[in-house]
């Protein structure tokens, strides 16, 4: 059985980190060794000064942030990363890695355990802090001597925030996009419903579906989980504008079990495409990591010159609403970080706006990363 259930780019590279004599100690107390990390690089390092930007991906993202050339498949952040884009790969060197617990090249539930079978339900709990620990070790492996910036949106923004709070000297600037210090009850509820749908699928088999030859796994439950989550990524206005009550019946009559609405067909499409590229056990682990994150729940001593922090939020974002952003910015300001907050009110796309062409937002990111100052050399531990 493949160790990478998700489709991956031909540009994917892998590094194996944390040998048995120096294993990765997770925040839960469990340990992992021979941690495989899938990553991609865009642009070139500048030997004269740090120009590396680490991009942290969102919940179901991968290392493939953008095309490497015109013949490559699109990446998940095409509007942001690439030549002439806000994260300009003609000037900047970008590293993006699949997170610990993911299913696109990095050690996760699909990785083989001591018996050679997938770890599956035995894969340990991971945290946002664990993800950052692996990112930092990868950079050491790649020979990085310092970062120009750490950038992330959604769960990626949580990773960037954790990096900022625990290792502020690693980078000159941190960009936190469409994110928060913790999830609201509304967001926790959506994740809980999604996980319940996965567990209720007979194909889940207590998380050991990888051991069942020929079994498809909990594809129906995972698809429903995606439908539920997708509603938190869009705004009510965007759903109304795109679909309203427009009818789009199934090609063959579905009866009372299926509604006739275009919005239903859209969500069904999202479910079908998602289950072809993601693993249910990874979804359970990563949503749990996102749920458990509470950035300011433990003391945050800040020493040395504080890096610049840019927060980007969207008025139409349901997943991270205004109250979540206010909590984040208030706490960061209290810690003394130089903080700029950009709030976009032009896009009705909701949480997904951070992935889309929103001119004012993209211009603000480009300005935050402009080469108007040469970053000080910072040590990468």
Q: Tell me if residue 115 falls in helix, strand or coil.
A: coil
Q: Which residue has the tokens 């009372």?
A: 256
Closest among 200, 196, 267, 280 to 233, alpha carbons compared = 267
For 35-63, give the DSSP string. EEEEEEEES---TTS--EEEEEP-TT--S
27, exposed or middle or buried, with CB in 10 Å at 0-12, 13-18, 19+?
middle
Q: What are phi and psi of 254, to 5 degrees?
A: -105, -5
Structure tokens of 113? 């355990």
Q: Is 317 a residue of the active site?
A: yes
Query: Do strands 52-56 and 35-42 pair parallel, antiparallel, or not at all (unpaired)?
Result: unpaired
Query: Do strands 87-88 and 93-97 pair parallel, antiparallel, or not at all (unpaired)?
Result: unpaired
Q: CB–CB of 224/200 below 8 Å?
A: no
Q: CB–CB of 175/150 below 8 Å?
A: yes
Which one of 57, 64, 230, 351 is the catalytic residue?
351
Structure tokens of 312? 């980007």
Which one of 111, 144, 154, 313 is the catalytic residue?
154
Q: In the 8-state DSSP scheme, what is residue 314?
A: E
Structure tokens of 217? 């796994």
Q: CB–CB of 111/3 below 8 Å?
A: yes
Closest among 180, 215, 185, 222 to 201, alpha carbons compared = 222
Where does the chain show beta strands of DSSP type E?
13-17, 24-25, 31-32, 35-42, 52-56, 81-82, 87-88, 93-97, 147-153, 171-177, 308-314, 339-344
Q: How many whole angstroms separate alpha carbon 57 and alpha carbon 190?
A: 20
For 271-293, give the DSSP string. HHHHHTT--HHHHHHHHHHHHH-
Which one of 88, 170, 220, 317 is the catalytic residue?
317
Residues contacting residue 42 through CB under 8 Å, at least 6 positions apart: 65, 66, 68, 81, 82, 89, 93, 94, 96
18 torsion bin: left (phi>0), alpha (psi -120 to 50), beta (else): left
The residues carrying an active-site annotation are 154, 317, 351
């Amino acid at each position: 059985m493949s160790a990478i259930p998700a489709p991956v780019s031909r540009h994917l590279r892998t590094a194996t980190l944390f040998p048995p004599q120096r294993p990765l100690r997770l925040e839960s107390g469990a340990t992992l060794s021979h941690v495989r990390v899938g990553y991609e690089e865009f642009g070139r390092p500048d030997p004269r000064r740090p120009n590396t930007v680490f991009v942290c991906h969102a919940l179901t993202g991968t290392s493939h942030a953008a095309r490497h050339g015109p013949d490559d498949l699109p990446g998940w952040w095409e509007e942001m990363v690439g030549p002439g884009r806000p994260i300009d790969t003609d000037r900047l060197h970008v590293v993006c890695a699949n997170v610990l617990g993911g299913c696109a090249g990095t050690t996760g539930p699909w990785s083989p355990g001591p018996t050679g079978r997938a770890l599956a339900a035995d894969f340990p709990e991971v945290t946002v802090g664990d993800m950052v620990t692996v990112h930092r070790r990868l950079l050491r492996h790649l020979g990085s001597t310092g970062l120009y910036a750490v950038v992330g949106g959604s769960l990626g923004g949580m990773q960037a925030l954790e990096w900022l709070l625990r290792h502020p000297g690693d980078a000159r600037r941190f960009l936190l996009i469409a994110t928060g210090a913790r999830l609201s009850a509304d967001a926790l509820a959506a994740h809980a419903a999604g996980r319940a749908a996965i567990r209720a699928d007979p194909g889940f088999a207590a998380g050991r579906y990888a051991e069942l030859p020929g079994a498809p796994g909990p594809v129906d439950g995972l698809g429903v989980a995606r439908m539920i989550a997708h509603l938190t990524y869009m705004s009510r206005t965007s759903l109304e504008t795109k679909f309203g009550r427009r009818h789009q019946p199934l090609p063959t009559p579905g009866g009372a079990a299926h509604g006739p609405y275009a919005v239903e067909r859209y969500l069904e499409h999202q479910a079908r495409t998602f289950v072809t590229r993601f693993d249910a056990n990874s979804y359970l682990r990563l949503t749990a990591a996102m749920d458990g994150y509470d950035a300011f729940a433990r003391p945050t001593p800040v020493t040395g010159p504080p890096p610049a922090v840019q927060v980007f939020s969207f008025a139409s974002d349901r997943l991270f609403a205004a109250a979540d952003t206010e909590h984040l910015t208030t706490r960061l300001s209290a810690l003394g970080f130089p903080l700029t907050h950009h709030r976009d009110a032009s896009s009705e796309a909701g949480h997904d706006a951070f992935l889309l062409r929103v001119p004012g937002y993209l211009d603000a990111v480009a300005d935050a990363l402009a080469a108007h100052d040469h970053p000080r050399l910072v040590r990468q531990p």
